[in-house]
């Protein structure tokens, strides 16, 4: 489809997204991990179920200035993905071209008979929040935001001691007490698996701990969800974006943390541990060790992702709202 020159709207594919990802000549801002080509492909292969997938590319002459990955249901467009496995979603614009991208996209959607956008989950700092409302007003769209969840983010200091100093005195003392108790129980070893050749075996161990953690986690990990986790892990490992941590006690894995390493940030996606050893706080300590590793790797931010669990605040996370955005075009 061609609009008034110089803009063009094209129908892209998941395969073409990979070509954009690898092409250093385009300036697309893949700021959101959960709309990376690897993530969308893993999600679509497991959960697509024949839905109407439309990935719009917005071009200015020979340069792509943005991508809008949608699922279409009647007159409503939604982001590719779902909130239980994608913590937040966004458009993929080129920096400096956000306004043009949204103008062309909305005009094209209207011409195709799309009347509503239902966009969720949305991070506070997304382009949906920061840029789109002004454009929506200019185009006389009705746009509404409603907070639906929270996530927690931790800005990492330069040193481990600096991190501990940033915690409350009471909780810092509690952490040190838990660490001493664990070390007195037996041989403690913490290791990380990120080699794509060993991911299958490591994921099997992770899923065993995940299921043994709690009944609700066991119910969540259906065969379909296992397929998604395995596919996602294998795909991200190829791009050096997966960090699978294991806490071992007396040579046995007792806790595991699944993290993603994306640019300067680390994302805590999920975890599991042997619930019979809950008295050792191995679930909490395994996450703490992943924070320590992130600091030592020079990462800038540790994202605990969605959910209001107490440990996220105790470990220094700051609350960030997560929204749903509904737009009448």
Q: Which domains does the chain carry?
A: 7-149+322-328 (3.40.630.30), 157-299 (3.40.630.30)
pLDDT at 2 over 80: no
Take residue 129 and report the two structure tokens written for it. Answer: 């929040």
CB of 58 within 8 A of CB of 95?
A: no
Q: Which long-range contacts (C-beta less than 8 Å, at least 24 apart) are formed by 178-181? A: 178/280, 178/281, 178/284, 178/285, 179/285, 181/280, 181/281
pLDDT tens sequence across 169-205: 999 999 999 999 999 999 999 999 988 888 999 999 9
What is the mean pLDDT of the segment spanning 242-270?
Answer: 97
Q: pTM of the full predicted structure?
A: 0.95
Among 58, 84, 80, residue whose Cα is nearest residue 69: 80
CB of 156 within 8 A of CB of 302?
A: yes
CB of 86 within 8 A of CB of 56?
A: no
pLDDT tens sequence across 141-170: 999 999 999 999 999 999 999 999 999 999
Q: Determine whether 15 is exposed, middle or buried from the number of CB atoms within 10 Å of its CB (0-12, 13-18, 19+).
A: exposed
Q: Are β-strands 301-306 and 265-273 bridged in parallel, bridged antiparallel, or unpaired?
A: parallel
pLDDT at 272 over 50: yes
What does the alpha-carbon distance between residue 151 and residue 318 come to, in Å, rounded to a whole number?
8
For helices 223-238 and 199-213, give the axis angle rounded to 10 degrees: 140
- Residue 17 burial (CB count, 10 A): 23
CB of 322 within 8 A of CB of 307?
A: no
Tell me the chain's radius of gyration from C-alpha atoms. 21
pLDDT (0 to 100) of residue 5: 67
Question: 250 by DSSP, 3-state: which?
Answer: coil
Main-chain dihedrals φ then ψ at residue 75, nearest 5 degrees:
-100, 15
Q: For the chain, give the percent of residues with pLDDT over 70.
A: 98
User: What letter does residue 94 receive in the DSSP assignment?
Assistant: P
- Residue 182 burial (CB count, 10 A): 18
Does residue 41 come out as left (phi exceeding 0), alpha (psi in the -120 to 50 range) or beta? alpha
Q: For the chain, give the percent of residues with pLDDT over 90.
A: 91
Q: Are β-strands 265-273 and 76-79 bridged in parallel, bridged antiparallel, or unpaired?
A: unpaired
pLDDT at 42 over 60: yes
Which residues, 6 or more positions from 71, have their beta carbon under 8 angstroms from its beta carbon? 51, 52, 53, 54, 77, 78, 79, 80
pLDDT-derived band at 25 (thresholds 50, 70, 90) equals confident
pLDDT tens sequence across 82-121: 888 999 999 999 999 999 999 999 999 999 999 999 999 9
């Amino acid at each position: 489809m061609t609009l008034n020159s110089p803009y063009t709207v094209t129908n892209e594919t998941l395969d073409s997204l990979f070509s954009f990802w690898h092409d250093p000549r385009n300036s697309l801002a893949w700021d959101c991990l959960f709309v990376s080509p690897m993530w969308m492909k893993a999600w679509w292969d497991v959960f697509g179920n024949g839905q109407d997938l439309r990935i719009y590319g917005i071009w200015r002459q020979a340069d792509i200035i943005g991508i809008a990955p949608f699922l279409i249901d009647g007159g409503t467009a939604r982001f590719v993905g779902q909130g239980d496995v994608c913590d937040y979603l966004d458009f993929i614009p080129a920096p400096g071209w956000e306004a043009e991208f949204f103008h062309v996209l909305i005009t094209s959607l209207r011409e195709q008979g799309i009347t509503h956008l239902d966009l969720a989950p949305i991070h506070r700092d997304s382009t949906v929040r920061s840029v789109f409302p002004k454009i929506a007003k200019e185009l006389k769209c009705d746009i509404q935001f409603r907070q639906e969840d929270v996530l927690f983010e931790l800005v990492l200091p330069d040193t481990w001691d600096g991190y501990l100093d940033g915690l409350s005195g009471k909780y810092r003392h509690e952490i040190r007490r838990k660490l001493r108790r664990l070390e007195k129980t037996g041989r403690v070893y913490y290791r990380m698996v990120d080699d794509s050749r060993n991911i299958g075996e490591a994921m099997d161990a992770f899923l065993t701990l995940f299921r043994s953690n709690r009944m609700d986690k066991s119910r969540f990990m259906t065969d379909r969800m296992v397929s998604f986790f395995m596919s996602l892990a294998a795909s991200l490992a190829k791009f050096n974006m997966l960090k699978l941590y294991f806490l071992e006690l007396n040579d046995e894995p007792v806790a595991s943390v699944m993290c993603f390493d994306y640019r300067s940030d680390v994302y805590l996606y999920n975890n599991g541990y042997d619930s019979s050893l809950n008295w050792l706080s191995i679930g909490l300590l395994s996450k703490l060790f992943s924070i320590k590793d992130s600091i030592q790797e020079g990462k800038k931010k540790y994202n605990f992702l969605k959910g209001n669990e107490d440990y996220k605040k105790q470990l220094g996370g700051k609350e960030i709202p997560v929204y749903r955005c509904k737009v009448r075009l």
